[in-house]
Amino acid sequence: MVMLFQRFGNHTLKTSSKMQSSEALSASLHAFESDILNYLFQISLHSKPGVDTYSFSWIQKCLRVLPNIDKAFAKFIADIDYPITEWKSFRVEEYMKDNITLLDHLNGISSSISHMGQACMKLLHALSLVEASPIMLKKLEAILPWCSNKKVEDQEEGKVSSGKDLVLHQALLVRKRVKNWICRIIDSSIRGDTAQSCLVMNSECGGLYNSSLGSLQSGVCEEMKRKTVVKEVVEINNGVVRLQAAAAKEGRHGDEPKELRERVEVLGKLLEGVKEDVNKLFAEALVRRNELLDSLEHRKE
């Protein structure tokens, strides 16, 4: 994110020749919040009739919003002409901590993906036993939700100053809260633990920043609680129930094991795609961190 570190030609001449007014700074902050709101509309879960949007495709869409938030933030920094090399030290530290938190969230998502992958492998193994001997139907188990052992820590909001530092603080708060929220809805969606997670997240949506952002986030959480589980897992679990019911009633299972196996294999491929996206985001976050450290080292010289 080179825009975080450098000034740019005419933009610098225009904004550095005199102190930016509070109105101009507020306008830049508002534009940043509007950009974030537009990105969140892309994952708002407004279902079309007959279409279930709460799925792994939606999870991937959420992941792909994260880099756009950083692009919007970099644009905001350029707009107010306040490169990171001029930030106050405690604001740089705040930014660094936020990036470490993102890495921690991505690690948590990777762990949940691995857990779901193991559940798929277990189900595939059970299906192979059923195909060889129908009596092994009792080995089939639905994919059950699980809770995270990770505790959500209270987040310090940092010191507040004035001028550019004030709007920077507000933008950092929006960036941090939105990125953390996206990571947590992704993780809870993979785990199927939406009710408790959304209860906590809803309590954090109000009063901290732009009310439209908070309202949109609350709406997504309400839709997640209503659906409880992503589409692909619902279909697999329904398949398990149908297979067991058919075998109990008729003593046979027809093509149900084959169809269920195909669904589980599709979910496995979706998990691979999500994991690739997470790994890419993790690598990009490390690159940004190293760029920041290099920039700060040059400032000391």
Per-residue pLDDT tens digits for 124-178: 998 888 777 767 777 788 898 888 766 655 555 556 678 899 999 999 999 999 9
Sign for the pseudo-dihedral over CA of 156, 157, 161, 167: positive
Lowest average pLDDT, out of 37-46, 104-113, 274-283, goes to: 37-46
Answer whether 102's CB lies under 8 Å from 179's CB: yes
Residue 257 has pLDDT above 90, yes or no: no
Here the tokens at position 164 are 């550019």
- 258: buried, middle or exposed (CB in 10 Å: 19+, 13-18, 0-12)? exposed
User: Between 228 and 76, where is the model more confident?
Assistant: 76
Q: d(Cα 210, Cα 201) in Å, to the nearest integer?
A: 16
Per-residue pLDDT tens digits for 76-99: 999 999 999 899 999 999 999 999
**Average pLDDT across the chain, whole number:** 84
Q: d(Cα 220, Cα 225) in Å, to the nearest integer?
A: 9
Q: What confidence score (pLDDT) does residue 170 get?
A: 93
> What crossing angle do the helices spanning 89-132 and 231-250 adopt, rounded to 10°?
20
